[in-house]
Chains A and B, each alone.
Chain A
Amino acid sequence: MTKTKTLLALALIGVCATASARGDIEMLARTCNGCHGVGGVSVGLSMPSIGGLPKEYLRNIMKQWKYDERSAITMNRIVKGLSDDEIDALAAHFAKQRWVPAPQQASAALLAKGKSAISENCEDCHGFTGSDPDVDAPRINGQWAKYMELELAKYRDPRFKMPHRKMKKAAQDMKPAEVPAAAGYFGAQDK
């Protein structure tokens, strides 16, 4: 086979691969709905809403899971079956969705405790309500508190591989009682 032909074949494969990744991204994204809800709006307490989160964030965590740079319970197994292009496309797809907070009720005492906990440990990166327009971090206003509690537990546990050092440090700086309070606080935010 000549070089030209090889190149042509490679190019064709590339075109097909991209086309397929693009064309069926809706189909692929629908498989996520089972756990994360349609449009990435979760109704499960422990399952995060993902629609409207930053593309970079979604892309990064999926890649980190895929390449075992980040611990997860289930997602690390799931994303290993996806190509990098599919991950990019999925991230772009969910980033395009609207963020729908699910504000959860919390007692005034918990909110007060959460407010003090987050002002020390969370606010600087996530903003006062978790929806600051200037954040780099994903939005967490009205994110599921249970999910955030579980996520914080991973950050606090040194056996879990969590690559975001600052988040890890902030989480580890929290007192145990502050974890549910902070999660509850952000979970209660509607805006």
Chain B
Amino acid sequence: MQTLDRRNFLKAVSGAAAASVLTVPQSFAATAKARVVVVGGGFGGASAARYLRLLDPGIDVTLIERGTRYTSCPLSNEVISGERDIRTLQAGYNGLARRGVKVVHAEVTQVDPVNKTVATADGQSFPYDALVMAPGVDLDYSAIGGLTEELAETRLPHAWKAGPQTLLLKKQLEAMPDGGRFIISVPKAPFRCPPGPYERAAQVAMYCRHHGKKKAKILILDSNDSFSKRPLFEEAWKALYGYGQGGMIEWVSGATGGIVEQVDATAMTCQTTFDDHKGDIINIIPPHRAGKIARDLGLATLKGTWCEVRPESMESTAHKDIYVIGDSCVGGELATGNGFPKSAHMANSQAKVVAAALVARLNGLPPPVPIYTNTCYSVVGHDWGFSVVHLFRVENNKWVYVAKGSGISPVTFGTKEKPLPVPRSYRKMEVAYADGWLRNLLADSFA
């Protein structure tokens, strides 16, 4: 098999760029400049900045992001197991800069929605005609007794924002003795990357199986009573690592004592409503909420945790000209439990909606009809993966979850009357598709 070396990658990306220029409507270039500030350079923010420039090069786009290099959370569990080099998950901001996005690496401290300015810690101020907020999630360490941000960075890494903690967790795993116990604590939904914890369990199990830790146990203490792609995970766990009583992976639901309330970093125990669990590694994923800056601005209108937005444009329901995308926002068909998943692809999709809506608005054109899609791959073994897709449309200013265009990878194959097991080759292909998907998603957001 060929590998994609850097030169080829760049060639392909520049090809994509060349192709994309063709999609820019001519009339937009002539309009007077509008200033759009994007806060946050994750998948959502980067995509928004990129598409704003793609759709209308006349718009002045400023992206304000703390970091200089972004690490993709999707597929970062593979880094923990050693299946993937973390560098393959990273992207810089040069691509966006080349497209004319003004990339500012700074910490946003304040947003003035009245005067329409964004202030940064280094004292800069950025006026805007429209503001796109993509701050991602904040982790609520206080929700679990005994947990601090400092602990997370040293002894109890959540590794839920890919980066140093991911590597830390990888090191801890490598150091874990055979027969050791790896505890994953899953917060109450909604949280970023709904299948992430279970994928992580599988990746850890795979590492243990192939690195002389066959007696290791992975205990998932879940605050929820079910989880994303559950039948697929359970099938894979069972087949690959053993699942349940006597298996390598054990899952404890919220109802049966999965909710972790307290953690003791010294004793390496976590305390649930029912029981105490001792672990060699305790990977507590704290509960999520919208990014601090968004909450400070009063955008988190849903229980003070999540930001509500308008379906047709992703504009905040709290402030005019401020748009919230990515993991901070909440959307989808909440009534039926089909909310927007907090995923990179979803953020990318939302960013495109914002970009199109903003370009239409700034150019005085009728608002486009938005469409939201999500594709999310989980890799649970070197030859086993699966995915979920989502499709949301907007009808009568409401999100509609399109069940027909959504769903997880098949649990059975063949016909209803004569079900067959899904071929292993099928599962194996999804691993490859996951890789291709990530490469394209990174390119579609950062290139």
Q: Interface segment, A38-46, A117-125, A126-134, A165-173?
A: A38-46
Contacting residues, chain B, for A81 (C-beta < 8 A): 391, 402, 404-406
Q: How far is the CA of A38 from the CA of B17 in the complex (A)?
A: 7
Contact of B370 among A27, A33, A150, A180 (CB under 8 A): A27
Contact call A73/B429, Cβ cutoff below 8 A: yes
Closest CB in chain B relative to A65 CB, distance in Å: 11
Q: Is residue B369 contacting chain A, with contact meaning CB distance below 8 A? A: yes
* Nearest B residue to A150, CB-CB: B429
Residues of B within 8 A of A102 (CB): 8, 11-12, 15
Whether the pair B402, A34 counts as a contact (CB closer than 8 A) is no
CB distance from B342 to the nearest CB of A (A): 16
The verdict on B119 contacting chain A, using a C-beta distance below 8 Å, is no
**Interface pair A37/B444, CB less than 8 Å apart:** yes
In the assembled complex, the Cα of A98 lies from the Cα of B170 at a distance in Å of: 43
Nearest A-chain residue to B16, judged by Cβ: A41
The residue of chain A having its C-beta at the shortest distance from the C-beta of B372 within the complex is A31
The answer to whether A77 and B438 touch across the interface, beta carbons within 8 angstroms, is no
The answer, among A26, A31, A36, for a CB contact under 8 Å with B440, is A36
The answer to whether A180 and B1 touch across the interface, beta carbons within 8 angstroms, is yes
A/B pair count, beta carbons within 8 Å:
181
Distance between A38 CB and nearest chain B CB, rounded to angstroms: 4
Bound complex: CA of A44 vs CA of B433, how far in Å? 8
Q: Which residue in B348, B369, B436, B437 is a CB contact (below 8 Å) of A144?
A: B436
User: With A105-B8, A157-B425 in contact, do A43 and B356 touch (Cβ < 8 Å)?
Assistant: no
Question: CA of A147 to CA of B12 in the docked complex: distance in angstroms?
Answer: 15
In the complex, residue of chain B having the shortest beta-carbon distance to the beta carbon of A103: B8
Find residues 159-191 in chain A having any chain B CB closer than 8 Å to their own CB.
159-160, 180, 184, 187-188
Q: A27-B369, A73-B426 are in contact. List 20 more A-B contacts (CB 8 A).
A: A23-B369, A26-B23, A27-B370, A35-B375, A37-B16, A38-B54, A38-B444, A41-B12, A41-B15, A44-B438, A47-B437, A77-B407, A78-B405, A81-B391, A100-B12, A100-B15, A100-B19, A145-B1, A159-B420, A159-B423
Q: List 5 A-B contacts (CB under 8 A).
A: A31-B352, A43-B16, A44-B443, A77-B389, A146-B2
**Residues in A lying within 8 Å of B, measured CB to CB:** 20, 23-24, 26-28, 30-31, 33-47, 51, 73-74, 77-82, 97-98, 100, 102-106, 144-147, 149-150, 153-154, 157, 159-160, 180, 184, 187-188
List 9 tightest A-B contacts by C-beta distance, closest first. Answer: A81-B405, A39-B19, A44-B436, A46-B436, A47-B436, A38-B20, A44-B439, A81-B391, A100-B15
**Which residues from chain B sit less than 8 Å from chain A, CB to CB?**
1-5, 8-9, 11-13, 15-20, 22-23, 51, 54, 345, 348-349, 352-353, 356, 368-373, 375, 387, 389, 391, 402, 404-407, 409, 413, 420, 423, 425-426, 429-430, 432-433, 435-441, 443-444, 447
